Amino acid sequence: MTDLSCPQCGTAQAPRFRAAKMVTCPSCGTTLFLEDAAVRLAGDQGVLHELPAPVRLGEEFRHGPIRLTPLGFLRYDYGPGTWDEFWCIDPKGAGIWLSVDEGEMVLQAPIPQINAPKTSPHLRLGHQISFQGLDWTITEIGTAKLIGWRGELPFAAYLNAQHSYLNCSRGNRLLSAELWPREDGTQGSHWSLGQWLDPYDIRKRTGA
């Protein structure tokens, strides 16, 4: 890892996530893109301070049988406020996203494109989406803009990138999508199936 040093301040970078693509230098706060064991400077734009949240970067937490350590986060602005998407790893090193929005916490597993719901681009609140043989009602639609990040992330993020999103809540699960227009006029989408976590059941690892 000696060749993974911050070009700005020389601090050696040791990402905890093997497939990390972007890290924030802990010494000078510069964003670094990791490309084929080399480091490319991305500047200090977009690096944020942490806001109060039930979880903290680098601190392992438990929720029932779930054990995760948040390594980095992306912050999205949805207009009246913001929410954070924490990139977390489990003890085996597998990564998963945890969405945190004013105490609403959802652990989001990606849905492979082949299994993703087929939708029209004209979805509205209250419309129903069919997925896994069930009808899911759209409970939220909005637009979000990436306004910053911090820590280790599994891909390179770009400041001010925008996407639409929709959420369908059903019991203790959340079906959600990020949507964006492609250059060819079609709609790109990433779907995920989420499990709500109760913030009052989050337990920090003592001594972490």
Neighbours of 24 (CB within 10 A): 25
Distance between terminal CA atoms of the chain? 25
Alpha carbon separation from 57 to 36, 87, 98, 141, 188 (Å, rounded): 25, 9, 12, 28, 30
Among 16, 21, 67, 170, binds other proteins (CB under 8 A): 170
Binding of other proteins by 171 (CB under 8 A): yes
Among 137, 143, 162, 187, binds other proteins (CB under 8 A): 137
**Nearest distance in Å: CB 167, other proteins:** 11
Q: Which stretch binds other proteins (CB under 8 A): 10-18, 22-30, 87-95, 167-175?
A: 167-175
39 and 6 Cβ atoms separated by less than 8 Å? yes
**Of 173 and 190, CB closest to other proteins:** 173
Cα separation of 133 and 151, whole Å?
A: 38
Binding of other proteins by 141 (CB under 8 A): no
Q: Which stretch binds other proteins (CB under 8 A): 25-33, 37-45, 102-110, 116-124?
A: 102-110
Among 30, 69, 119, 169, binds other proteins (CB under 8 A): 169
Among 49, 200, 206, 207, binds other proteins (CB under 8 A): 200
For residue 92, report the phi and psi dihedrals to the nearest 5 degrees: -90, 0
19 and 37 Cβ atoms separated by less than 8 Å? no
Is residue 148 left, alpha or beta, with left meaning phi > 0 and alpha meaning psi from -120 to 50?
left
53 and 88 Cβ atoms separated by less than 8 Å? no
Among 139, 141, 156, 178, binds other proteins (CB under 8 A): 139
**Of 115 and 172, CB closest to other proteins:** 172
The first and second tokens of residue 158, run together, are: 């770009």
164 and 27 Cβ atoms separated by less than 8 Å? no
String marking each residue 47-86 x if it binds other proteins according to CB under 8 A: ----xxxx-----------------------xxxxxxx--
Which positions from 111 through 130 interact with other proteins, judged by CB under 8 A?
A: 126
Q: Which residues of the shown chain bind other proteins in the complex (CB under 8 A)?
A: 51-54, 78-84, 101-104, 126, 137, 139, 169-172, 196, 198-200
